[in-house]
Amino acid sequence: MKKKKNSPADKIQDLQYFGEFGGVNPSIADSTTFTYLAGKTMHDVFEGNREGCYLYSRHTNPSTSYLGQAIAEMENTEGSILTSSGMAAITTTILELCNSGDEIISSQTIYGGSFAFMQNYLPKYNIKTHFVDTTNLDEIKSKINKKTKLIYCETMSNPLLEVSDIRSISKLAKTYKIKLIVDNTFTPMIFTPKELGADIVIHSLTKFINGTSDTVGGIICSDEEFITNLIDVNSGSAMLLGPVMDSMRAASILKNLRTLHIRMKKHSENAKYLSEKIFKDGICVIYPGLKNHPQNQLMLQQMNQEFGFGGMLVIDMKTKQKANLLMEEMQAKNLGYLAVSLGFYKTLFSAPSHSTSSEIPENERKNIGLSDGLVRISIGLDNDIERTYKLMRRCIEKVNSF
Ligand SMILES: *Cc1c(COP(=O)(O)O)cnc(C)c1O
């Protein structure tokens, strides 16, 4: 297995903290506002003529900055801005980049909330989105015109687990001077989209990065210039829309971030084991680590291999009824929880066509192959995955025998 020279995990490990009292964790900056010794200094900060001073926590806060620096290290970007949720990161970024009359080209298989924002909300501001199959470069190209501001995709799409060819898409974007935004929520550590050419990398921290299903959060990672624009006191969408993360939460997420590499490896190992077994049993399963996955080779070429193919897998039970029965059965056997979201220590499962992707209209769902029988499963950190497999197989057999 190839290990990168500059692994995202090493970069987090190499950060060093000396807290206010020499603590090994930075002290939590539990303040909304910060004092100045001179009125002139405050004025200079407002004017943008002085950096490195904290002013007000909607702008920046030391605790959120620590977390922001750590994730920017992981993503190899110059800077970052923490947000109160993944959706806040997505909407703030798009509203910063797009003016009325601009156009977006987006993958058609994206998180339901992102789809709904572009499809239903942005038209209010006269911003139009073309939804395309981003695995087809010609289709992207055919929608590019003078109004195109950005291309939007997920590293691994939700819920079909299609892998984007970020290198090729970014080349196309650069040719036309369009920004490429990549949502890396499903694959932290596994992908470093910036190194593949993405301009802006977004995460919902709610999922794998925090990993304890106790808080929502998000982050925008990009170059210093974009970050500075976002927090501009006169015009920045992060500053003016105000989607800030609280310092207490930032401190707790930072602590969880430190075990992300171990968790991702375990999620991946477990998901790979299960998908291979279930596939051999003749069940229809989607997992990018399987040889039959259409982007298996592409993923191998782009990923940081030491972290595996990720913790998400999808089983197609063919009908809505069977999907529901399987989820109820798996919960009854304590295999995990019937709940949306992902990246928890316990396995989580939901049927995307009637939950997280229900914002996508039915005919659209059919078009993109989002069947009613899909069960999306975020595989947990189970210690004995063979035991889990046996339980899961019994649940599937029971449902299929009805
Ligand atoms: C959950 C999720 C989001 C939204 O994040 P929130 O923290 O719930 O706002 C965005 N993109 C993807 C891929 C997600 O899974």
User: Would you call the peptide bond into 294 cis, given omega within 30 degrees of 0 as the criterion?
Assistant: no
289 CA distance to ligand 1 centroid (A)? 23
What residues flank ligand 1, with Cβ below 6 Å? Answer: 85-87, 111, 113-114, 154, 158, 183, 185-186, 204, 206-207, 216, 218
Give residue 53's pLDDT: 87
117 CA distance to ligand 1 centroid (A)? 12
Give residue 4's pLDDT: 65
CB 346 within 8 A of CB 338: no
Nearest one of 58, 68, 64 to 231, comparing CA atoms = 58
Q: Relative to the CA of 205, which ligand 1 atom is closest?
A: 7
CA distance 389 to 387: 5
Q: Relative to the CA of 185, which ligand 1 atom is closest?
A: 13
The pTM of this model reads 0.95
Q: Relative to the CA of 186, which ligand 1 atom is closest?
A: 13
336 CA distance to ligand 1 centroid (A)? 20
Q: Domains along the chain?
A: 8-257 (3.40.640.10), 261-400 (3.90.1150.10)
Cα dihedral across residues 284, 287, 289, 292: positive or negative: positive
**Greatest C-alpha distance within the chain:** 76
217 CA distance to ligand 1 centroid (A)? 9
Q: Whose CA is nearest to atom 7 of ligand 1?
A: 86
Q: Relative to the CA of 206, which ligand 1 atom is closest?
A: 7
Give residue 366's pLDDT: 74
Q: How many residues does the chain have?
A: 402
CA distance 315 to 377: 8
Give residue 348's pLDDT: 98
CA distance 90 to 182: 10
358 CA distance to ligand 1 centroid (A)? 14
What count of Cα atoms within 13 Å lies in the side-chain half-sphere of residue 227? 21
State phi, psi for 194 to the nearest 5 degrees.
-60, -40
CA distance 98 to 54: 28
204 CA distance to ligand 1 centroid (A)? 5
The three state secondary structure string of the chain is CCCCCCCHHHHHHCCCCCCCCCCCCCCCCCCCECCCCCHHHHHHHHCCCCCCCCCECCCCCHHHHHHHHHHHHHHCCCEEEEECCHHHHHHHHHHHHCCCCCEEEEECCCCHHHHHHHHHHHHHHCCEEEEECCCCHHHHHHHCCCCEEEEEEECECCCCCCECCHHHHHHHHHHCCCEEEEECCCCCCCCCHHHHCCCEEEEECCCCCCCCCCCCCEEEEECHHHHHHHCCCCCCHHHHHCCCCCHHHHHHHHHHHCCHHHHHHHHHHHHHHHHHHHHHCCCCEECCCCCCCCCHHHHHHHCCHHHCCCCEEEEECCCHHHHHHHHHHHHHCCCEEECCCCCCCCEEEECHHHCCCCCCCHHHHHHCCCCCCEEEEECCCCCCHHHHHHHHHHHHHHHHCC
**Residues with pLDDT less than 70, the chain:** 1-4, 356
Q: Relative to the CA of 216, which ligand 1 atom is closest?
A: 7
Instruction: Characterize 304-325 residue by residue with b for buried, 16 or more Cβ atoms within 10 angstroms of its Cβ, and e for exposed.
Output: bebbbbbbbbbbbbeeeebbbb
